Structure 1
Amino acid sequence: MIANMHMSLGEMIAVFSAGLGAGAINAVVGSGTLLTFPVLLAVGLPPVTATVSNAMGLIPGAISGAIGYRRELRGQRTRLLKFGAGALVGGLTGAALLLALPASAFERIVSVLVGLALILVVFQPRISRKLRERRERDGSTAHPDGGPVLSVGLALASVYGGYFAAGQGIIYMSLMGMTLDESMQRLNAVKNVLAALVNSVAALFFLFLADFHWTTVALLAVSSAIGGQLGAKVGRRLSQTVLRTLIVLVGSVAIVQLVLR
């Protein structure tokens, strides 16, 4: 079903600009929804219609960001297949919950989830070092894919992503950073693929069962695809420390915005 609403030229420019920024932010950090969602509400879309239109419109941006990080995806095929299956199931579940539950159901815990994720991102180097030291003492080795705990955690994060998506990328990064012995850039590449899968399966579900606004979807699709490429080019040049700092800064802004909304 398509929500009928006329948009002025100024509103279309605002939505396009928000999509451009969201595509870039999602490719580097995640949380681009926190940029687009308020704009969609400001131009007059109802909350659920805005969420659905946003999820559908940001698919090209997510795919664009994943393509921009394709070099960092090399050697991670098995990992992507395993995590991707959970992301598809989780994203579909979250999309179904969006239509079944009150619009504010997950929003009440979003800031808490993002806050916990940021704490893990900040302390991830120290925690990872402690885990390595413990494995050396025990003579054990790390699971190459993080084990069942990571798979379940990513699947649950994907449920949340299919429902709302704000801060989804930060949660992905914190969970993988805790359990995988990989660089931040390679983890970011996986994060982009998982986000693309969640957005895609949720959008397919919404296409047949939810209200959305075609003009908004089209504007976000074009602008987020451009932004995804720009974000990938910039993000791939960032050091691990800078990338981690950027994640914390964006996440902190996200928490403030969510609390005040």
Structure 2
Amino acid sequence: MTWWDAALLFVAGIGGGLVGSIAGLASLTTYPALLLIGLPPVTANVTNTVALVFNGVGSVSASLPELRGQRSILKRLVPAALVGGAAGAELLLAIPAEGFENIVPVLLAASAVLIAIPQRERVAGAPRGAVRILVESVAVLAICVYGGFFGAAAGVLMLALFLRTGGESLAHANATKNVVLGVANGVAAMIFIAFAPIHWWAVAPLGAGCLLGSRLGPAIVRRAPATPLRLMIAAAGLALAVKLGVDTYL
């Protein structure tokens, strides 16, 4: 890997960390950058997962104000994230990715639409019904399986879920997403480190960029007007859905 490759990955990591901590679209820049320097798709995918551990560290540490009072929610969702991330990683190592990736554009487009629709903010501390809790937990498990398997736009899916099922605000839903997705990505990364080919020379600059960029995202979400930011996230998600759809079906 050349110095130019390292510089490209560092810049892609900053961009990925920034949009990942805001919208869950880190792979929008990081995964293509790994392909651009010549990594094969599977190696790029697992290397990307390992590098994005730094995105989780940065985004969660920067989201601490919004995470206050969310202990009970996270205690319920983190086990599903652990199981889902591990299952997704095992799935990637066991079967080809093509079939599973075919549904990604549809899921991403649907999530972008859900994010764009204004949601009624839940009163802080208001109880969740048993059915809603069950649906949310099952959905988190499914998204984390997908996140461990491929990961592109898993954050958009999760952000849409939390905005629909109980986030008091975009910033709170984003903070919850950062923790849950960070856990799923972390356990998938550990499995890949043990059993998959990791390009460590690419992880270093990409991970450093992700750490830097992800520290900035929650501060932007905290201060920016919620509606324009939500619509920008939805537009980015829809654009990625179109791009993935063209690559997949054409």
Is this a same-fold pair by TM over 0.5?
Answer: yes
Shift of 1:122: 2.1
| Partner residue, 1:196 | 182
Shift of 1:152: 0.3
1:79 and 2:73 aligned: yes
Q: Measured at CA, do residues 166 and 181 of structure 1 come closer, stay the same or move farther in structure 2, by a change above 3 Å?
A: closer
| Partner residue, 1:93 | 87
| 1:46-102 Cα shifts (integer Å, max 9, x gaps) | 111000000001111111111111100000001011111101100000001111111
Shift of 1:214: 0.5
Of 23, 26, 45, the match for 1:32: 26
CA contact (8 A) 1:124 1:177 kept: no
| Partner residue, 2:165 | 179
Percent identity for Structure 1 against Structure 2: 37
Shift of 1:244: 1.2
User: Counterpart of 1:152 in 2: which secondary structure?
Assistant: helix
| Partner residue, 1:122 | 116
- Gapped regions of structure 2 (runs ≥ 5): none
Runs of 4+ residues deviating >4 angstroms:
none
User: Counterpart of 1:182 in 2: which secondary structure?
Assistant: coil
Alignment of 1:47-66 (within 5 A): 47-66=41-60
Distance between the aligned counterparts of 1:63 and 1:39, measured in 2? 21
The residue identity in structure 2 corresponding to 1:180 is G
**Alignment TM-score, normalising by the size of structure 1:** 0.88
Shift of 1:181: 5.1
Distance between the aligned counterparts of 1:178 and 1:232, measured in 2? 20
Shift of 1:253: 1.9
| Partner residue, 1:169 | 155
- Gapped regions of structure 1 (runs ≥ 5): 1-6, 133-139
Distance between the aligned counterparts of 1:219 and 1:104, measured in 2? 28
Shift of 1:20: 0.9
Distance between the aligned counterparts of 2:127 and 2:138, measured in 1? 20
Of 199, 216, 219, the match for 2:202: 216
| Partner residue, 1:137 | none
Distance between the aligned counterparts of 2:222 and 2:180, measured in 1? 18
| Partner residue, 2:245 | 259
CA contact (8 A) 2:13 2:210 kept: yes
CA contact (8 A) 1:54 1:217 kept: yes
| 1:181-232 Cα shifts (integer Å, max 9, x gaps) | 5111101000001121011100100111000100111111111000111222
Shift of 1:166: 0.9
Shift of 1:118: 1.5
Q: Measured at CA, do residues 200 and 118 of structure 1 come closer, stay the same or move farther in structure 2, by a change above 3 Å?
A: same
**Alignment TM-score, normalising by the size of structure 2:** 0.92
Shift of 1:179: 1.6
Of 201, 219, 226, the match for 2:212: 226
CA contact (8 A) 1:95 1:162 kept: yes
The residue identity in structure 2 corresponding to 1:259 is G
